[in-house]
Structure 1
Amino acid sequence: MPTKRQLPTARLRRLAREMRRLRSEAGLTREEIAASTAINQATLYRLEYAKGRPQKRTLLTLLKEYGVEEAERDAILALSSQADEQGWLRPYHADLPDELVGYISFESEARSVRNYESLFIPGLLQTEDYARATVSRGVGPGVTAKQVDQRVQARLERQVVFTKDTPLELWAIVDEAALRRVVGGPAVMTEQLRHLLKVAVEPHVMLQVIPFSSGAHPGMPGSFVLMDFSDPEDPELVYIDSMAGDLFLEAEEDVRRYDQIFDHLRALAASPDDSLNLIASAVCENT
């Protein structure tokens, strides 16, 4: 059986960035470190780009080589010990796709999420019946009922981010098409829309709709998520889910581009009050 690859976590990404910084500040190349420590360059690359968590022995060797003092060394060792933690994950979710596990790990640690959806209600705002209808149709042939149940349960458990001491801040923008497409039948869709009317007035949720009357807009090519983290050392992260696969982007130019697209969509969308009116009108059409 193939070894399950290291899943990304915000802490692992932070540790990798710290290791790159320390080596850079020490003025050393990976080739030089490999020559002086016998730690091969492939291992160094994996550690510096969040491909795996270092063994404690390897980490101690590197920190000594970089001249890291005791207080900073202890902080990095503590970060490394927590780097694999997937606090949200339940044992019976072990079969979830790696990309989904990685996404939820980041989402669970995010301070705020900006989510644009062109065809679906955002996952954090879905009801169970709506989620089941989208998962059943959206995961492809050959998926068992048990796997559908696991993915639906995972989607619902994601919503615990709203019940934390400091709830996740969600700014969701949806195209009107997501309101008008009857997913799961009229009763399921009506329940979903009424749920949106309820959660949209929560202080940690901002919901806007881009009406059909707005015409073409920059969000039409597809959905995306922007995540922001409480720790200033954790840069924003972009997540894109497409037919070609899931993609995480953290390069500054990519984040800036999606920041600008989201700002454009926010300005184009109806105001929060007018968006609630659009949702209410969609409820009336389904009843």
Structure 2
Amino acid sequence: MADVRLWTLLTRHNVDGPAVMREQLRHLLEVGRRPRVHLHLVPREVGAYPGLNGAFVIATPADGDDVAYLDNPLQGTVVERATDVLSLRQSWESVRAEAMSHRQTLSVMSEAAEAWT
């Protein structure tokens, strides 16, 4: 099983009402407490950072080289070329350098979930 790392922006936009927002955050908290899942928020004060270029996932299969998946509103793309995966990994490390720790992230998300009442 690959080590899965998730990153997300914590938004304050009200989508479908406070109850939905609260439950979405609680669900993310539940997932974030799993042993192989790490959530990391990037504080707003950071401003522009590489994670704003779009979502991607990097997977490390037990029996092969890293692969990545890019997603946008029109299509998803599997990335297998080693130099491209390396570039995405470097982007990920840049995001992590700006992000809060996993523990801090869970704390902020917990507070945000309770604020949606």
- Equivalent-residue separation in structure 1 for 2:100 and 2:65 (angstroms): 29
Q: Give the number of the structure whose residues are more often strand, by fraction.
A: 2
Contact 2:4 2:59 in 1 (8 A): no
Find the aligned partners of 1:205 and 1:221 in 2 and give their Cα distance.
22
Separation in structure 2 between the aligned mates of residue 188 and residue 202 of structure 1, nearest angstrom:
22
TM-score (norm 1): 0.38
User: Which amino acid letter does the alignment assign opposite residue 10 of structure 2?
Assistant: E
Please state how far the C-alpha of 1:206 moved relative to its aligned partner. Answer: 1.2
**5+ long unaligned stretches in structure 1:** 1-110, 113-168
Letter in 2 for 1:195: H
**1:214 maps to which residue?**
46
Q: Alpha-carbon deviations, 1:60-93, whole Å to 9, x = none?
A: xxxxxxxxxxxxxxxxxxxxxxxxxxxxxxxxxx
* Deviation digits for residues 85-114 of structure 1 (CA, Å, limit 9, x no counterpart): xxxxxxxxxxxxxxxxxxxxxxxxxx32xx
Deviates more, 1:185-194 or 1:254-263: 185-194
- Kindly indicate whether the alpha-carbon contact (under 8 Å) linking 1:175 and 1:210 is maintained by their aligned counterparts in 2: yes
Report the TM-score when normalising by structure 2. Answer: 0.88
The yes-or-no answer on 1:176 pairing with 2:10 is: yes
CA distance in 1 between counterparts of 2:15 and 2:70 reads 22
CA drift at 1:181:
3.1
Equivalent in 188, 197, 206 of residue 20 of structure 2: 188
Find the counterpart in structure 2 of residue 277 from structure 1: 107
- 1:268 lines up with 2:98 in the alignment: yes
Q: Hey, what's the Cα distance between the residues in 2 that align with 1:201 and 1:172?
A: 12
User: Corresponding residue for 2:31?
Assistant: 199
Of Structure 1 and Structure 2, the greater helix share is in 1
Figure out how many residues of one structure are paired with residues of the other and give that number.
117
SS in 1 for 2:51: coil
Percent identity over paired residues: 34
Q: Structure 1, residues 183-239: CA drift from partner, whole Å, max 9, x if none?
A: 3321111011112222322212211111112211001121111111010xx221111
Could you tell me how far apart the structure 1 residues matched to 2:28 and 2:22 are? 10
- Contact 1:176 1:212 (8 Å CA) reproduced: no
Contact 2:29 2:110 in 1 (8 A): yes
Q: 1:210, 1:260 → 2: CA distance? A: 16
* Runs of 4+ with >6 A deviation: none
State how far apart, in whole Å, the 1-side matches of 2:48 and 2:31 are: 28
SS in 1 for 2:57: strand
Higher alpha-carbon Rg: 1
Q: Is the 8 A contact 2:43 2:100 kept in 1?
A: yes
Higher relative contact order (CA 8 A, sep 6+): 2
* CA displacement at 1:251 relative to structure 2: 0.6
Gap regions ≥5 residues in structure 2: none
Deviations 1:121-154 (A, max 9, x none): xxxxxxxxxxxxxxxxxxxxxxxxxxxxxxxxxx
CA contact (8 A) 2:22 2:113 kept: yes
Taking only aligned residues, the RMSD between alpha carbons, in angstroms, comes to 1.6
1:245 Cα shift? Answer: 1.8
